[in-house]
Amino acid sequence: MAELKVQSVNKSFGSSQVLYDVSVHVSDGQLLALLGPSGSGKTTLLRIVAGLETLDSGDVWIGETRVNSLPPWRRGCGFVFQKYALFHT
């Protein structure tokens, strides 16, 4: 496991800003739970950390590596959903 730092992350979709100046620090070995109502940006933040979504500004660090421009397969992390409905086509 490695330390995760999310620093001043911003993300918009068109004119809708979904993440505004989000900062999170999770030390090696800590557990983090993201809770909030639908549309609050939880999944967007996880997708940014995993490299499935680009951020507009800010930085994401995994360990000592700034991963903003790394592809998902080089980040060594991922996530799964509690419900599969987000993948329904």
Report the distance separating Cα 66 and Cα 75, nearest Å. Answer: 10
pTM exceeds 0.85? yes
The phi, psi pair for 76, rounded to 5°, reads: 70, 30
d(CA 39, CA 7): 21
Q: Which residue(s) pair with 11 in the sheet?
A: 19
As a whole number of angstroms, the distance between CA 22 and CA 41 comes to 10
Per-residue pLDDT of the chain (89 residues; tens, 9 = 90+): 689 999 999 999 999 999 999 999 999 999 988 999 989 999 999 999 999 999 999 999 999 999 999 999 999 887 777 666 655 55
Residue 84 to residue 58: CA distance in whole angstroms = 29
- Best CATH choice for the domain 4-87 from the list 3.30.70.270, 3.40.50.300, 3.40.50.2300, 3.40.190.10: 3.40.50.300
